[in-house]
Amino acid sequence: MSDKPDLVNLVNIFFQYAREGNFVELEAMMTDDIEIIESESLPFAGRYTGKKALQNLYTKIMPMLRISEVRQFNLMLGESSVCCEVELIPEGSDEVIELMEMYVFRGDKLCMIKPFYYNHDQVHAVAKANAS
């Protein structure tokens, strides 16, 4: 029997709490120095750090993209990470924003999230349409 945490299950639990907006439980899953790195070419670019990182990012992304559904699939396990495909569905739209996210763990705590959006122009277009 391995002492290694079930990282895929931790990511599934993380997504469950994120869908519920349960930041108390999400923060309990994170290291104090967690970092979320968003590409400089995105409208919500930057490095978000600390236990409030995800909540701070959500306050930018949710009004900007108006996400009504998040789907995750094809979870791929690394040594201390999990990558998965993610689809963001903006409300009232047939757009699907596709991305890959890497979740890095220190033990059983999440210490980094690094998303990769396939089409930055699409993200900007959705944000612009929602700003109108």
Which amino acid is it at 129? Answer: A
Annotated domain spans of the chain:
7-131
Confidence (pTM): 0.92
What's the alpha-carbon Rg for the chain, to the nearest Å? Answer: 15
Spatial CB neighbours of 107, under 8 Å, sequence gap ≥ 6: 5
For 88-105, what is each residue's pLDDT tens digit? 999 988 889 999 999 999
Residue from 110, 131, 19 nearest 64 by CA: 131
With a cut of 90, say whether residue 116 has pLDDT above it.
yes
How large is the average pLDDT for residues 15-38?
A: 96
pLDDT tens profile 60-89: 999 999 999 999 999 999 999 999 999 999
H or E element that contains 17: helix 7-20
Architecture of the domain delimited by 7-131: Roll (3.10)
